[in-house]
Structure 1
Amino acid sequence: MNRRPKRLPPLSALRGFEAAARLGSFSKAASELHMTQSAISHQIKLLEEFFDQPLFKRINRAVELTDAGADFLETTTKSLDILAQGSYRLEFYKKPGSVVLTTTPAFAAKWLIPRLPDLREQHPVIDPWIHTTDEQDSLEHSEVDIGIWYGHGDWSGVEAIKLFDDAVTPLYAPTMKIRGKDIEEPADLRNQVLIHVEQVERREDWRAWFSLAEVEETDTVTGLNLSDTGLALECAASGQGVVLGSKILAADLIKQGQLIQPFELSVPTEQNYYLVSTPEKLEQTEVRQMFDWLAKQAQ
């Protein structure tokens, strides 16, 4: 379906109209826009002919908006502001040293962001632009330079390097109010609120962990359900339950004492995080430097 508006006024005349309406003068508008007064008058005439009604009242040498003109000024001001903001955002795409990276919100928050100070120290010229999404858009036809994707690593058209072999394991906060008794063995988790991370095609769930731990007759369905891994870790860190969380993404939280890993037993993940880019984009110096930095950080 074609959603393009069927009836648009002459867009080239909008700046002249907005300036004349704001300043209350065609001559002042001409001076501000470095145009002639006759050019401003011509733009206003085009708009009035288009709408088939006057937008200004001519009073001697001054001009005042009609009711229709005041209404259209509000629309024009909003439209020009949106265009100005859009134009400003485009400047980032040509900024020297700018590298656009896309990854999941959880990976960005729990692993990438805490390590960015080292990137700034090692490569001060690089200005990273982090875009978070769970989608994996084609790098060949986008402004994204580098991706950190979660999957099997079998994407076509990109160079992919596995960053980690991950696994999930029970995690909870030291401040969590113990329900029933202390967590000393896997079976004790049956008395706790379980936090579930609902991800498509994820087989590493509580059922798999309890099976590996040889714990039977366990309710692996009830509890808290979250779709974002990062939020699930934060939920556990706030003492609301036990999460079967990524050891990679939880590493800093465990190191800082915000989460406890009570057992060594963990379930390896079938999918993992991969560093991806295209050969063409890796020819850019800053992109290659950030790509190599990320690979080194993962080691």
Structure 2
Amino acid sequence: MLKHWPPLNALRGFEAAARLGSFHKAAEALNLTQSAISQQIRSLESYLEQPLFHRTGRSVSLTDAGHDLLSTTQTLLQQLAVGIRRLDQYRKPNQLVVNTTPAFARHWLLPRLADFHQRYPEVDLWLFTSFEVPDMASETIDLAIRDDIGAQAECSFSVLHQDLLYPACHPDLAAQGRTTLHGEREMDWSHWQVEGGEDVGQQGKGLNFSDPGLLLEAAGEGLGIALVSQLLAQRLVAQGQLQALSAQRVRGPAWSCLVHRDSQDDPQARRFLEWLKVALAG
């Protein structure tokens, strides 16, 4: 990391002059004097301790170092412009930022978002997924719906749904020689055994997945048997891609909600939570 950075204005002046091939045209494009552009580029060359332009009368052309810096500068300025434009989303009056896991978003929430949008078209929902639990005190998040969270400072906490787990596979999967798919936390077969689950032919070896959503999709694709979330598997079961291997169910994760204190009285958050609770109970 550089200890000292060249001024942003000098980089803008350099980029304009290099792109347009003229200090005069760069000055016109940036509403500056030609003298100001010349000074910016001289200060940048002094900082870099090497020339960036060949100067021949009124014409200028880039040195090799100038060509190299132009590519870097254009990328930098473009990324900065995109980042600044992206900040507009934080000014939307009806915006609601919801954090959840990729598995919940993909397998449960996404298929139901059309219903939410139809009921509450005024809510500008921003769905932010992450594998890691967010720090609600430092991140711009109104509420989080996850199966891996507990109470946090500056938030209200509530359990929305107690999930159940069961072993499942694709209906066409052969009865013998099935590969065992392994997940983490409650989706690990050791949890099924500790909870008294019956033997369905699971083995210690097989394929391993850290993402429960990917584990569920692998089972639906016929890659093997897996311990799946009853909540998240609903769509694949309805589509005929998954069938249970046992009538037994064991305790799964608790889907819980964190609502930031600044959003507890927000009507957008209230509407989303009301809709969510009805949908989870359905």
Does the TM-score normalized on the shorter chain lie above 0.5? Answer: yes
Matches within 5 A, 1:134-283: 134-151=131-148, 153-179=150-176, 192-199=178-185, 205-208=191-194, 211-213=196-198, 215=199, 220-269=203-252, 271-283=253-265
Residue type at the aligned position of 1:258 = Q
1:107 pairs, out of 104, 108, 121, with 104
Q: Which runs of 5+ in 1 are unaligned?
A: 180-190
1:46 has 2:43 as partner: yes
Q: Secondary structure at the match of 2:185?
A: coil
CA RMSD of aligned residues (A): 2.4
Q: CA deviation at 1:106?
A: 0.9
Question: What amino acid does structure 1 have at the position aligned with 2:209?
Answer: L
Tell me the amino acid that sits aligned with residue 64 of structure 1: S
**Kindly tell me: are residues 151 and 58 of structure 1, through their superposed partners in 2, closer, same or farther at Cα, counting changes over 3 Å?**
closer
Per the TM alignment, residue 129 of structure 1 is displaced from its structure 2 partner at its CA by 1.8
The percent of aligned pairs where both chains have the same amino acid is 39
Contact 1:208/1:267 (<8 A) preserved: no
2:121 aligns with one of 103, 121, 124: 124
Matched residue, 1:182: none
Say if 1:49 and 1:192 are closer, same or farther in 2 by CA, change over 3 A: closer
1:24 to partner: Cα distance: 0.6
Q: Report the TM-score, using the length of structure 2 for normalisation.
A: 0.89
Q: Is the 1:204–1:267 Cα contact (8 Å) retained in structure 2?
A: no
TM-score by length of 1: 0.85
8 A Cα contact 1:48 1:55, kept in partner = yes
Q: For residues 108-132 of structure 1, what are the alpha-carbon distances to aligned partners after superposition, in whole Å with 9 as ceiling and x for unaligned?
A: 1111111111121111122222222
Q: Which structure 2 segments of 5+ residues have no match? A: none
For residue 35 of structure 1, report the CA deviation from its aligned partner.
1.9
Instruction: Supply the distance in 1 between the matched residues of 2:2 and 2:203 (Cα, whole angstroms).
Output: 53
- The letter for the 2-side match of 1:280 is D
Q: How far apart are 1:202 and its partner, in Å?
A: 6.5
Aligned length: 281
Change (3 A) 1:152 1:131: closer
The runs of 4+ residues in structure 1 deviating greater than 6 Å are 200-204
Matched AA of 1:198: E
For the residues of structure 2 that align with 1:76 and 1:287, how far apart are their CA atoms? 41
The Cα shift of 1:203 comes to: 8.1
Summarize the Cα distance change of 1:77–1:205 in structure 2 as closer, same or farther, 3 Å threshold: same
Q: CA deviation at 1:42?
A: 1.8
- Alpha carbons of structure 1 residues 152 and 8: separation in structure 2 relative to 1, 3 Å: closer
Paired residue type of 1:267: V
1:63 maps onto 2:60 in alignment: yes
Q: Separation in 2 of the partners of 1:126 and 1:220?
A: 47
Contact 2:97/2:142 (<8 A) preserved: yes
CA 1:154/1:41 → structure 2, altered by over 3 Å: closer, same or farther? Answer: closer
Q: Aligned pair 1:293/2:279, yes or no? A: no
- Give the conservation status (yes or no) of the 8 Å contact 2:181–2:207: yes
Contact 1:56 1:66 in 2 (8 A): yes
CA distance in 2, matches of 1:127, 1:63: 50
Distance 1:82 1:141 in 2: 24
Measure how far apart 1:158 and its partner are: 1.7
Distance in 1 of aligned mates of 2:186 and 2:130:
15
Give 1:85's aligned amino acid. Answer: V
Mean alpha-carbon deviation: is it higher for 191-200 or for 59-68? 191-200
Q: CA deviation at 1:64?
A: 1.3
Counterpart CA distance in 2 for 1:212 and 1:287 is 38
CA positional deviation for 1:177? 2.6
